[in-house]
Chain A
Amino acid sequence: MFTRQPIAPLEYTRRWSLRAWVALTMFFLYAPLVALMVFSFNDSRRNIVWQGFTTKYYLKVLHNDTLMTALLNSLTIALFATIISLVLGAMAAVMLWRFRFPWKSAIEGTMALPIVVPEICFGVAMLIFFAQIGWPMDLPWPFSLGAITIAHVTFCFPFVTMVVRSRLASFNREQEEAAKDLGASEWQAFRDVLLPHMKPGLVAGALLAFTLSLDDFVITFFTSGPNTITFPVKVYSMVRFSVTPEVNAVSTLLILMTVILTTIALYLQNRMTENSGKGHS
């Protein structure tokens, strides 16, 4: 006969109360998202009652030129913001980790400021800033995206710095000395030893920066002009008219995109950490 083992003190997963709690949490977190995705296939102008399955709203989305332009804008901004943030953030991380200099902790603190300052303040500040310096609004694409890209870099690169810095904390400096001892110059030691160690941090930082930039609404809203609508801003303006299944379809695509990106980045990161051990030899 199949007999049940009594539940051991630490086997929380076998207690119904905990299972129920987990189920409830999951429902609370994901029910809205699931509903959003399901109704993107709803064959109805209005979004409330299920009328039948269709994919026509996806086709409609793909043929919506302004929406596609907005998506292209968003991806371009995210790409450049990520690249610039990565370089700046990694440099800042290495500097803060490697050197001691006056006002170091103050500089460290101010660097984290964009993370804690309310986005709305940041957005307004950016709006005033670009107006004050007279940033040209009529540049040809993709230079027209410059202002938004700069704004995105300011709040993205501190995240890169944080992630890379915590990765650097586990670096064994004797490795760098060993490289130099074997004849490597400062640059060669950085390239061959420190950079490979930083890689998982760089990947995670880049992913963070990319997704932050891609779905930023508040700051972008203040810095975008009529010709530089981004994807989230466009979605917002669509919702202002009415919440059609088209909005659902767009949102589903956005979710899909971020999930795929995250999965790829996590996969890459896992593979790299496996290769590079745990930082210490």
Chain B
Amino acid sequence: MNRNSNVYTVIYATVLTVLVAIMLTVAALGLAPQQKANSDNEKKQQILSSISSVLGKDVTFENAADIWSELDMDNNMCVVNTKGEELKGIDAFEIVAKQQFKAGVVKDEATLPLFKAIVNGKTYYIMALYGAGLWDAVWGYLSVESDCSTIAGASFDHASETAGLGAKIKDDPSFAASFIGKHVFQGENFAPVQVLKQGKSAANGADQVDAITGATKTSDCVSIIINNSLTGYKAYLLALRNTPCESAQAAECAACDSTQIVEPVNKAE
């Protein structure tokens, strides 16, 4: 057969393409469950990393699933909107943070995931952060204690910040750790912690953590991301702060039950 004829070339290309397509489809479908499990596990690791100091141990890719089920996180998450209401019928874990933001600001109709971890009888609220870094997306999780203001920890990840500089938001554990003990509210004012160069101070009296040396832009972005992301949770956090836990929709809010004893103590502070 003439290998250079048009007919041969077209048939050859068609057969090859179909064969390759079938092979790849089978592979993709076959491996999909395992891949989904991996990315779910990574998400659990990131969420739990924001309370790693409370847990007293590092959350790794390997132990994330165990800690997750230990804390019964599957039954301790809810979805809130920007008006501060809890929403029904949405799986908080499956929410894609990216879709809730437009141009770095929380959409009005956004549905935001809120994870409640109960460790040693204390409740920690874990909120999702998302926004633009210097080069690409930066996201993470921030946890607050039951007073809805004191930060218990944070975890960050990024798509492509500069290795050794901006990438330190993830690679240098001391950066995330520096958020511990800072506040989201100053008195009654919403003033989330800011990331600032040493020597500078926030105009609105917010707490501050030191920016990463040589990564001023990424640090600024983290500051903006925290402010913008928490703005979406602001109404919910305020409602939670101003509602004595007993009268809160305790049935709805599984986490409240176990905090009834702890909550008044924190309120008194």
Q: Do A and B bind each other?
A: no
Binding site for A on B (CB under 8 A): none
